[in-house]
Amino acid sequence: MITTGTVLSDDGFDIVKTYNGLLKEDPELTMPVAAIESLVLALSHTPASTVSETLDLLSTLTAQLKRSITNPISLSAGTDLFQRYLITTLTRPGQGARGDFDQIRTHLIRNGQLFVERAKEARERIASFGRHFVGDGAVVLTNGGSRVVGALLRRAAETCEGTHSGGGTIRFKVLYVTASGTSDDSEAKETISALRARDIPVATIPPTAIAYSLSMVTLCLVGAEGVVENGGIINRLGTYQMGMLAKSAGKPFYVLAESHKFVRLYPLGQDDLGFQQTVVNFSTQCGQKDEQDSHPSDGGVADLESKRSSCSGGPAVPSRFDESVDYTPPHLISGIITESGVLTPSAVSEELIKIWF
């Protein structure tokens, strides 16, 4: 079965390829929106005529998409939102099924671009709202390659129209935490150079220097791949650490996330994210036994367990640190800035309840 890119081929619509293609084409696109876009394209390519057929198709495609990506949290925010939207609008009581369905379908297909526009607009709104957090003389600590944070910092750096570049009305500095301690880290590179071009002093530090530099920090800003039900976030590995340090030093820790990143997940810990990620790999000199740090089911028969699991392959492969994520619990977060304002972590679950129940 060879599928050619995103074009409908004889055997079917390859959603994974579409999704990856979309992400590659447009670097400004977030994963949830790309997922929604690919589902919309799937809708347009597959003539489904009934509501249940469509919903069925969508769940199949969603499952396919989630299976193909290691970390499906971010895109599942988009797919879940899309599914709930369809279910809500299609199964509303008192509506003629057929005519409305076609209308919705047409609307969705025609307005694929619209969603992307709105999502980008959401980012701009967050940036224009959140920049008030950066006052004169502030030092902002951030990490990762979040585009929202980049947009916000760029907005804060902007001068009033018509004046010369550089020399904004707000003078602030940025402390960027990168894995290597330099700006060669590809995620943040563009943002850092963009900020430096605007005359904003940016320093890059390795994660080991966070505590050291925390005394000069005014506030921490991070993005999020997903915002979970209890108001915590899933973000690049190292965010949890930053959150803990910020809390203990009494610095505010704000998260910037568009509201379409809210995902219906309630992790009880770092191991409970719904997918396997092996950040911690114990090994010894003899035998290179890989021990799984999650699921110590048979406590007494530890050796046997680890041998068996290393045979099974799959999860024994350690994850790359720069692709791993961690979970930051809500009590470390001072506020989540969405395009609708600043939410307390407890407001997130209310939002999710509203679409799910």
Contact residues for another protein, defined by CB under 8 A: 33, 36, 81-82, 85, 88-89, 92-95, 100, 103-104, 107-108, 111, 114-115, 117-119, 121-122, 124-126, 128-129, 132-133, 135, 259-260, 262, 335, 338-347, 350-352, 354-357
Q: How far is the CB of 107 from another protein (least distance, A)?
A: 6
Rg (CA), the chain: 22
Q: Which two tokens stand for residue 237?
A: 């590995």
Q: How far is the CB of 113 from another protein (least distance, A)?
A: 10
Answer for the pair 233, 224: CB distance below 8 angstroms, yes or no: yes
Task: Give the 3-state secondary structure of residue 17.
Answer: helix
Measured from the CB atom, the residue of 97 and 301 that comes closer to another protein is 97
3-state secondary structure 219-240: EEEECCCEECCCCCEEEECCHH
Q: How far is the CB of 42 from another protein (least distance, A)?
A: 15
Measured from the CB atom, the residue of 95 and 186 that comes closer to another protein is 95
Q: Which two tokens stand for residue 147?
A: 């585009």
Q: How far is the CB of 131 from another protein (least distance, A)?
A: 10
* Most distant CA atoms of the chain, gap in Å: 72
CA distance 192 to 340: 27
Measured from the CB atom, the residue of 75 and 126 that comes closer to another protein is 126
Measured from the CB atom, the residue of 182 and 248 that comes closer to another protein is 248
Measured from the CB atom, the residue of 74 and 183 that comes closer to another protein is 74
Q: Which long-range contacts (CB under 8 A, 24 or more apart) does 95-100 make?
A: 97/50, 97/51
Q: How far is the CB of 307 from another protein (least distance, A)?
A: 46
Measured from the CB atom, the residue of 129 and 176 that comes closer to another protein is 129
Answer for the pair 167, 159: CB distance below 8 angstroms, yes or no: yes
Distances, alpha carbon 186 to alpha carbons 28, 183, 192, 193, 292, in Å: 15, 8, 10, 11, 30
Q: How far is the CB of 344 from another protein (least distance, A)?
A: 5
